[in-house]
A and B are shown apart, each in its own frame.
Chain A
Amino acid sequence: MKSWLLADSPASRLQANLGQLYLLLRGFFRSPLAVIGFGIVCALLLCAAFAPWLATHDPYQQALTHRLLPPGAEHWFGTDHLGRDIWSRVIYGSRMTLLIIVMVAAIVGPLGLAIGIVAGYVGGWVDRVLMRITDIFLAFPRLVLALAFTSVLQPSVESAIIAIAVTSWPAYARLARAETLMYRGSDFIQAIELQGASRLRVLAGHITPLCLSSVIVRLTLDMAGVILIAAGLGFLGLGAPPPQAEWGAMIADGRNYLIDSWWVATIPGLAICIVSLGFNILGDGMRDVLDPKTR
């Protein structure tokens, strides 16, 4: 199997691609940090998927007789000021976090990629106009603009997602444009053009796949930042409305009980740290493998 994957002269395209993938994966799993990051992100996915089974209590069930209980056998991470089980709320909160980052990535990645490769490939005034717009958005303070946007859109998860997406796409447009410029003049693109391929075909079939890997690495690294901004918006009360379990908002809940009941604010914060750390090291690991400069 291994020798088939690493054959010098692969018999089919499939064999060559699988061999390439095998090498990438081997490089990736050789770095212990990257594996830890991968594990954390997988754990987040599993928590979100199996939340009803992992949670020990109903995350919305209030029990005022059980408020602010310290961590123990019945409530692993204690309870908050309304007697809700914090472990269960943290587990359910992973769904909110995952929803936000998946939606932001789904909006920002394709949008930035499209703007960047069109600007880079078409060039001329299209490029100039698109890049000026990108520069304008790139020069904006992210969190403050997200604050202003959510104020217009009424606090909700959707508006948090839109606000973060609006302030995040320019970096991807820049990246995709730089990559496109690198490939645009290369021989193989000119060969395809000489064969009569349409612009759309060159863009969609040949340039986009080449830009994908760096955009994906950037997205992974950025997810840590997105989690932090989303948590910040939640903390300020501009994220998911109560009683939804959202990590940032849970920290805000615990703020008033910090002195006597440290666990209410501390535990959701730890969850945010771990997940954002996971994305950071996963992204670093992926960059080390995918970036041709360091390969």
Chain B
Amino acid sequence: MTQWFNRRSLGAGIKACALQVSMFVITILGLLLVTFVIGRVVPVDPVLVIVGDRATAEVYARVHAELGLDKPVYQQFLIYLYKVMQGDFGTSVLSSQSVARDIAAFFPATIELAVTGTLIGVLLGVPLGVMSAVRKDSLLDQVVRVVALVGYSIPIFWLGLVGLLVFYVKLDWVAGVGRIDAVYEYIIERETGFVLLDAMLHGQWDIFRNFLSHLALPGALLGYMSMAYIIRMTRSFMLEQLVQEYVVTARVKGLSEWRIVMHAFRNVLAQLITVIALSFAYLLEGAVLTETVFAWPGLGLYITNSLFAADMNAVLAGTTVIGVCFVLLNALADALGRFFDPRTRSVRT
């Protein structure tokens, strides 16, 4: 009996897993289809970008054929897919390097920002959200709620400018725009692409400190955005749990407030992990505006700079990379939620 039961649940598990994976693949294909379509309808002629407007008709036709533009559209899409799978996004007009190399150089900076933001958001947001729910309607709760409310009502690029004005120009507490001071750009030993790691590996502690001083402001800003979201979700999850019957039972049994809160917290953990994964995904894209304000050489800055240079290969590749990360994190959030919360496992979507 148990054997039969186990086998059945294993089968169901494999089926659910297969469904998830196929869903993921379909979503990625959809994303690539959208970027492909954007690339095709864009009012920039990809051939002219390469050959220039003084090329002869012959050269034009040759490049046109080289880019595969003479083939039917569905074949072009398949070729596009094939190339993307191999990490070939074409050549950037702006840097005349392969776009994949550009992205590899720019991506670590974005990760640095998003990780810092998420760390700050989780470390501050979760405790504040829990306390705010436990002491509902107290002064603390009111203050925390207003702080969170302002956090998701404020334009981050504006807050960045005001932050630069106050903390860099007036108070001189932090370093200004950029990732490290220009003097260090040529000294730093590049290995992993992450400044913090590289500086530590090679013992360049002045670069380490300089980087932290540059990171403080944009990191704190993204942290605030992430914190606002995490506080809001944690608070509402906890409020939902604190009125459940098991909490009443625990109270009647005379458990301490702390134990009760820990009981309730255990039950929101699964939802919370989903929220944290999602907030990381939002930060990856929220970094676009922050990077522009702080001239932080990440993917967001790369995309916007390429956009104004009509460098469509670079724009679409950047969009695809952020999109794939976003989809991955969504799927990861889903899977983690399932793993930590048995209640959601039987729910079929």
* Chain A residues within 8 Å of B, Cβ to Cβ: 132-133, 135-137, 139-145, 147-149, 151-152, 154, 224-225, 228, 231-232, 235-238, 248, 251, 254-255, 258-259, 262, 265-266, 269, 272-273, 276-277, 280-281
Contacts and interface: CB of A to CB of B under 8 A. Distances in A.
A145 B323 contact: yes
Contacts of A141: 281, 284-285, 319, 322-323, 326
Interface in B267-288: 281, 284-286, 288
Given A152-B42, A258-B169, A266-B162, A248 B292 contact: no
Contacts of A225: 152
B23 A251 contact: no
Contacts of B304: 147, 236
Nearest to B33: A136
A280 B289 contact: no
A255 B157 CA distance: 10
Contacts of A238: 307
Contacts of B318: 144
A78 B95 CA distance: 41
B133 interface: no
B258 interface: no
B38 interface: yes
Interface stretch (B24-32, B59-67, B124-132): B24-32
Contacts of B144: none
A192 to B, nearest CB: 28
A148 B327 contact: no
Contacts of A280: 149, 152-153
A165 to B, nearest CB: 15
Contacts of A277: 149-150, 153
A120 to B, nearest CB: 13
Nearest to A145: B319
Give the contact-size bracket for chain B: 35 or more
- Determine which residue in A236, A258, A262 has the highest number of CB atoms from chain B within 10 A of its CB, and name it: A236
Interface stretch (B73-81, B211-219, B308-316): B308-316
B155 A248 contact: yes
B158 A265 contact: yes
A144 B323 contact: yes
Contacts, number: 131
A136 B308 CA distance: 28
Given A144-B319, A148-B38, A262-B165, A232 B153 contact: no
Contacts of A236: 289, 292, 304
A36 to B, nearest CB: 11
A42 B33 CA distance: 42
Contacts of B30: 133, 136-137
B43 A154 contact: yes
A139 B153 contact: no
A139 to B, nearest CB: 5
B344 to A, nearest CB: 15
Given A231-B157, A277-B149, 15 more contacts: A139-B27, A139-B323, A140-B323, A141-B281, A141-B319, A224-B153, A228-B153, A228-B155, A231-B158, A235-B289, A236-B304, A251-B158, A262-B165, A269-B161, A280-B153
11 contacts: A135-B23, A136-B31, A148-B38, A148-B316, A148-B319, A151-B42, A152-B41, A228-B156, A235-B157, A269-B161, A276-B154
Contacts of A147: 288, 303-304, 307, 315, 319
B285 A258 contact: no
Given A148-B316, A259-B165, A280-B149, A143 B289 contact: yes
Contact of A232 (B155, B169, B323, B330): B155
Nearest to A273: B154
A152 B152 contact: no
A255 B150 CA distance: 22
A241 to B, nearest CB: 14
A248 B323 CA distance: 25
Contact of B35 (A148, A255, A269): A148
B220 interface: no
B322 A144 contact: yes
B90 to A, nearest CB: 15
B328 to A, nearest CB: 9
A251 B157 CA distance: 9
B158 A269 contact: yes
